[in-house]
Amino acid sequence: MRRIFVIAVPYLWLLALFLVPFLIVLKIALSDMALAIPPYAPTLDFQAGWAGIKAFVSELDFENFTFLASDDLYWKAYLSSLRIALVSTFLTLLIGYPMAYAMARSPEAWRPTLLMLVILPFWTSFLIRVYSWMGILSSEGYLNQFLLWIGLIDTPLAIINTNLAVYIGVVYTYLPFMILPVYATLEKLDGQLLEAAEDLGCSRLSAFWLVTFPLSRSGIIAGCFLVFIPTIGEFVIPSLLGGSDTLMIGKVLWEEFFSNRDWPVASAVAVILLLILIIPIVLFQRNEQKQRESEG
């Protein structure tokens, strides 16, 4: 009974907080828009019994998914979100890996302080941090004022409301998610392996590429997934820092729900987004399982 209870608790958690909400969203995605409350039809009437359930199921259709396939706005939004997520993940890795490496090679007395500095932004509201970048990147912001002061530019740069601002916001926001797993992997690395590689004739750069980088691959994969998965559905950063040309599926989803009040189409968009995210989530879980097996 104890084993059954231990196994049942996480499954009941997933059932209540994932599967049931997903089925509700899927049901709305198969419905039609209606000028009513709720703004979709049909609705399930349990009082009608089995006949009501049959009538309800017969009225469901896949017209919303067909509409998404026929309208280029949505598949362009998916492709744009994938592109922004991939580029942001690469930039985050490019910046985060050297920081994690420096933390792992620093004296042990300094590591807790450096780790706290990485986690420190989480103590501030996510929305406030994004709003602060609006003040930094605006035409009269601190960045343009500094560049004008040192004479590097003559006119303010147009950074806000561009894709560049979105990349800056995403990289800043999700950088700790890249640093922490990479640091956790590098911190466990045995320094004697590097010494052995150097004794065998490798330079420091060769020892890094042949020993350190391959052994940190699990941390890199985990960090990339932790950045890529939330970025692809990001809504706040492109809404506040991006412009009209910034097309991401999170913005489209919000506009369908709250501006157009088209819940069925918005639900269809959410279902497809979830199906897209299942692939990296499954790959991430398999990587974590392989890592646990190798450590065991």
- Distance, in Å, from the CA atom of 94 to the CA atom of 33, rounded to the nearest integer, reads 45
- pLDDT in the model for residue 227: 94
- pLDDT in the model for residue 170: 95
- pLDDT in the model for residue 296: 59
- Two structure tokens written together for 227: 């950045």
pLDDT tens-digit readout, 191-247: 777 778 777 777 778 888 888 888 888 899 889 989 998 999 898 999 999 887 888
Per the omega criterion (within 30 degrees of 0), is the bond before 38 cis? yes
Is a pLDDT exceeding 90 seen at residue 94? yes
Higher pLDDT, 93 or 9: 93
- pLDDT in the model for residue 213: 86
pLDDT tens-digit readout, 139-160: 888 898 998 999 888 888 888 9
- Two structure tokens written together for 166: 């979105």
Q: In 3D, which of 140, 136, 99, 133 has the Cα closest to residue 118?
A: 99
pLDDT tens-digit readout, 72-88: 889 999 999 999 999 99
pLDDT band at 276 (very low <50, low <70, confident <90, very high): confident
**Hey, what domains does the chain have and what are their CATH numbers?**
68-295 (1.10.3720.10)
247, 250, 256, 257 alpha-carbon torsion, rounded to 10°: -160
Kindly report the length of the chain.
296
- Two structure tokens written together for 178: 């890249």
- pLDDT in the model for residue 295: 63
Is a pLDDT exceeding 70 seen at residue 289? yes
Higher pLDDT, 80 or 36: 80
- Distance, in Å, from the CA atom of 271 to the CA atom of 277, rounded to the nearest integer, reads 10
Find tokens 């020892």 and name the residue: 207
Q: What amino acid occupies position 169?
A: G
pLDDT tens-digit readout, 234-271: 989 999 998 878 889 988 988 888 888 888 999 999 99
- pLDDT in the model for residue 181: 93
